[in-house]
Amino acid sequence: MTDFKEGDVVLVSYPFGEGAGVRKRPALVISRNNFNQQTEELIVAQITSRISSPNREGDYQIIDWREASLIKPAIVRLRLATLPTAMVLRRLGSLTQEDFRGVSTAILKHISG
Residue 75 lies in a domain: yes
Strand pairing partners for 8? 94
Q: What is the CATH number of the domain that holds 57?
A: 2.30.30.110
Residue 33 lies in a domain: yes
Considering the entire predicted model, what is its pTM?
A: 0.89
Give the separation between CA 11 and CA 14, rounded to whole angstroms: 9
Residue 49 lies in a domain: yes
pLDDT 10s digit of each residue in the chain, 113 long?
Answer: 468 999 999 999 876 666 667 789 999 999 999 999 999 999 999 999 988 766 788 899 999 999 999 999 999 999 899 999 999 999 999 999 999 999 999 999 888 86
Residue 2 lies in a domain: no
Residue 98 lies in a domain: yes
Residue 28 lies in a domain: yes
SS3 106: helix
Is residue 23 classed exposed, middle or buried when 0-12, 13-18 and 19+ CB atoms within 10 A define those classes?
exposed
Residue 3 lies in a domain: no
Question: Which amino acid makes up residue 26?
Answer: P
Say what the pLDDT of residue 46 is: 93
Residue 45 lies in a domain: yes
Question: Which amino acid makes up residue 93?
Answer: G
Q: Number of structural domains, the chain?
A: 1
Q: What are phi and psi of 35, to 5 degrees?
A: -60, -45
Could you list the residue range(s) of the whole structural domain that residue 54 is in?
8-112
Report whether 78 contacts 48 (CB < 8 A).
Answer: no
**Which sign does the torsion angle of CA 80, 73, 104, 7 carry?**
positive
